Structures are given as C-alpha cells and as structure tokens.
Amino acid sequence: MQEELNSISSLIGRLSIDENDKSELLSKFDDLQKKLSRSEFKLDRTLRDKTISSNVLNATIKELEIQKQLVEEHSMQLQVSLKKLEISFTELEQFAYIASHDLKSPLRTISNFGQLLQKNYGSKMGPEADQFINFIVTGAQHMNEVISDLLEYSRVGSKNKDFTTVKIIDIIDLVKFNLAESINETNADIVIDNPKLELKANRSSMLQLFQNLIGNGIKFSEGKTPVINITCRALKNAWEFSITDNGVGMDEAYQDKVFLPFQRLNNIERPGTGIGLAICKKSVKIHGGEIRYESEVGEGTTFIFTIPQAEMPVLEELVFDSVIVPQAE
C-alpha cells in the first residue's frame, strides 16, 4: 500500500502544472496519507481487540459449558440424595411407628402390674416400697404418653395426603368436641372471626394443628378463664392464621427450640410430653407453610402460621362475619 502511495506522490510531482497548485495538491495528498495511516492503525487495533474478545468469549462459553455440566451432575446427585433422604425419612417414620407400637404392649403390662401392686400391697410393705411402686406407676403412665405422642407425630401427614376443601368451622367444631371436657371445666371461649372460610388443605393435619394450639391455650391458662381468638387474613398466595390465648406466655428467644419434639419450656409438672408444637410445625410444613409465635411472659401467646394456596381470591372481595363459637355442652 505504501509503495502505491509513493508512486502517486511521485506522479503528482512530475505533473506539468503550476507549482503552487502542485504544492497544494501534494499537501492535501499528504493529509490523506496521514488520515489513511490513522484509519489503518484503528482498524488494526479493532481487529486485534476483536480477536482478543473472540478468544475470551470462546473461553467463557467453554467455561459455561463446563459449569453447566457440573450443575447438571450436581443436580442429579442432589436428586439422588433427596430421594435417599426421603426414603430414609419414610423408613424412620415407619420405624418410629413400629417401635412405639410394639413398646406399648410391655409398657401396658408394667403399668397394670404396678397398679395391682399399688392396689393389693399398698401400705403393707412400708412407705419406701409405696414410693417405689408409685414411681413405677407414674413412670409407666408418662412413658405411655410419650409413646402415644410419638406415634401421633410419626403419623402426621402419613394418612389422607390428599388436599381437599376444608371448612374452618368444621375443624373448630371437631376440636370443641374433642376438647369438650377441658372446655367445660375452664369455661373457655373460642372466638373465630371467619367461620365461613374454606381452603385447600389436609384435613387430618389441620385438625391436629388447631387442636394442639387451642388445647395449649386452655392448658396453660394459669387459673384464668381461657379466651382463644382465631383470626385469618389473606396474603398474596396464602392464608395467614393467628391463634391468640391469654395464658402464661413464653420467651420469644425459644422460636426454634419450642417446635422441636419433646421440648418443654413450662412447668414440668403440667401434663404433656412437649411434642404438641412439633406436631403443629410438621402439620404446617406438609402444606409448605411456616409457623412462629409472638409472646410475652405472663401476657399470653399468639401463634402465627401460613397455609399456602394455589389460587387465592381477590383481597378486596374477602368479607368475613365475626362469630363466637358456643361452648361445648
């Protein structure tokens, strides 16, 4: 290219024209040469940059392909691990059910013979023997409660897995029936603000959930007349329930611990094994929801949980009538 330009410059120099015109023509040609040189430099630099960018892009594509392959492999491994975990969890639930079921028979024998000893030989073998017999009977009864609750926990979600339309008022009516004795003894009031609410849920799990939370509100009322308030509001894709009692309350620092099996934060002398809230959490989890509580010691507790829904009505169209559920007769 440079040789051609030099030839053109030489040709201009040999032209038989006015020297001023020739000088001006050569000056303009020189300017064009400089512009051409700059353009060639820019083009060369652009081509080199393009080559570098192309190499980087190709390297990135290869790296992404490698990462994609690794992600696919990890995803397959994760699916296999999840399947194994699901199988292990199912086997663990079955083991808990079988073990607990088989333990009840010998435990019943221990309890029955302990009660016979207490009945037939009580006060005949001395106070120390009476104390020992009482330990046997009380321990057997408590162990029976633990096993029964463990069986209940292992069965949560294992039956009636189908989600159906559930009427909240039907659940509350059944809870009242099951807790009729304690409701009558304490004159408990159960207040619900949306008895007409219907939602897609597992009926058995919803019954366990509401019965445990309402039952706890009655159990831990500390001599007060229990008042249980049940409210519900619609979120974007879920129902959010709040169950508030006027009981003893508990420290909010135990958000995680309180929902673990066999964790008891209140007086150990109160009845129960500490598995009720674990059942509640499991019941909520099988619906894909979350559960937590707000509380102040001595001022009652509010349990808040969500039940996700695939289809939710428009929020503005939700209209609920307040009603007080009558006490069980």
Residue-averaged pLDDT of the chain: 78
C-alpha dist (Å) from residue 242 to 153, 191, 300, 306: 22, 12, 13, 9
pLDDT band at 79 (very low <50, low <70, confident <90, very high): confident
pLDDT band at 249 (very low <50, low <70, confident <90, very high): confident
Instruction: Give the pLDDT of residue 167.
Output: 92
Instruction: Return all residues near 73 (Cβ < 8 A) that are at least 6 apart.
Output: none
Q: Is the pLDDT at 329 greater than 60, yes or no?
A: no
- Average pLDDT, integer, range 233-261: 86
Do residues 180 and 326 make contact, with C-beta atoms less than 8 angstroms apart? Answer: no
Instruction: Return all residues near 265 (Cβ < 8 A) that are at least 6 apart.
Output: 250, 251, 254, 257, 258
Instruction: Give the pLDDT of residue 188.
Output: 92
Q: Is the pLDDT at 13 greater than 70, yes or no?
A: no
Domain parsing of the chain, residue ranges: 1-155, 157-325
- Average pLDDT, integer, range 55-67: 89
Instruction: Give the pLDDT of residue 277.
Output: 87
Q: What order do you get walking across the sheet with 189-192 strand by strand? A: 291-295, 301-308, 238-244, 227-234, 189-192, 323-325
For residues 246 and 219, give the distance between their C-alpha atoms in angstroms, rounded to a whole number.
11
- Average pLDDT, integer, range 39-68: 87
Identify the sign of the CA torsion 89, 151, 218, 268: negative
> Which tokens in the block code for residue 151?
């069986």
pLDDT band at 311 (very low <50, low <70, confident <90, very high): low
> Which tokens in the block code for residue 319?
């209209």
Nearest of 246, 149, 225 to residue 182 by alpha carbon? 225
> Which tokens in the block code for residue 286?
């099988």
The percentage of the chain sitting over the pLDDT mark of 70, rounded to a whole number, equals 72
C-alpha dist (Å) from residue 149 to 61, 77, 135, 280: 56, 35, 21, 12
* Straight-line distance from the first to the last Cα atom of the chain, in angstroms, rounded to the nearest whole number: 109
- Average pLDDT, integer, range 311-320: 41
For residues 318 and 314, give the distance between their C-alpha atoms in angstroms, rounded to a whole number.
7
For residues 66 and 221, give the distance between their C-alpha atoms in angstroms, rounded to a whole number.
61
For residues 303 and 249, give the distance between their C-alpha atoms in angstroms, rounded to a whole number.
11
CATH class belonging to 157-325: alpha beta
Q: Is 266 helix (H, G, I), strand (E, B) or coil?
A: coil
pLDDT band at 38 (very low <50, low <70, confident <90, very high): confident
Instruction: Give the pLDDT of residue 306.
Output: 94
- Average pLDDT, integer, range 44-64: 87
pLDDT band at 210 (very low <50, low <70, confident <90, very high): very high
Instruction: Give the pLDDT of residue 126.
Output: 74
* Segment 113-122 long-range contacts (CB within 8 Å, at least 24 positions apart): 114/140
**How confident is the model over 254-304, as pLDDT tens digits?**
777 888 876 666 554 555 566 788 888 888 988 889 999 998 888 889 999
C-alpha dist (Å) from residue 281 to 39, 295, 304: 72, 17, 11
Q: Is the pLDDT at 166 greater than 70, yes or no?
A: yes
Identify the sign of the CA torsion 167, 173, 179, 184: positive
Q: Is the pLDDT at 60 greater than 60, yes or no?
A: yes
